[in-house]
Amino acid sequence: MEYKVLEDLLPKANMSVYGLVRMAAKRALEISDGKKCLVDVPLSEKATTKALEEIYEGKVVSRESEEHMYVEEEAPQED
């Protein structure tokens, strides 16, 4: 698996290293707890790597106005 460069991930977290770490850690815990992974990665990859790949691909995004993130498939539908 190709590892992503920090500069490619930062825009996904509003240019905040702290925000990126929080997003990745929260999502990695969800994956470890049994939530479905949203990207196609080998099972041997660690949860943190899976979470960063999801963030990179835009499957997990940050909401500036709220204190949490959401997963793409749980995103509210806009009319």
pLDDT in tens, 27-38: 999 999 999 999
In the chain, the amino acid numbered 59 is K
pLDDT range class, residue 54, cuts 50, 70, 90? very high
pTM of structure: 0.74
**Residue range 6-33: average pLDDT?**
92
Q: How many CB atoms lie within 10 A of CB 33?
A: 8
What SS3 state is found at 38? Answer: coil
Give me the residue spans of the domains in the chain. 6-60
Instruction: Write the CATH number of the domain with boundaries 6-60.
Output: 3.90.940
| 8 A C-beta contact, residue 61 and residue 12 | yes
Whether residue 20 is predicted with pLDDT greater than 50 in this model: the reply is yes
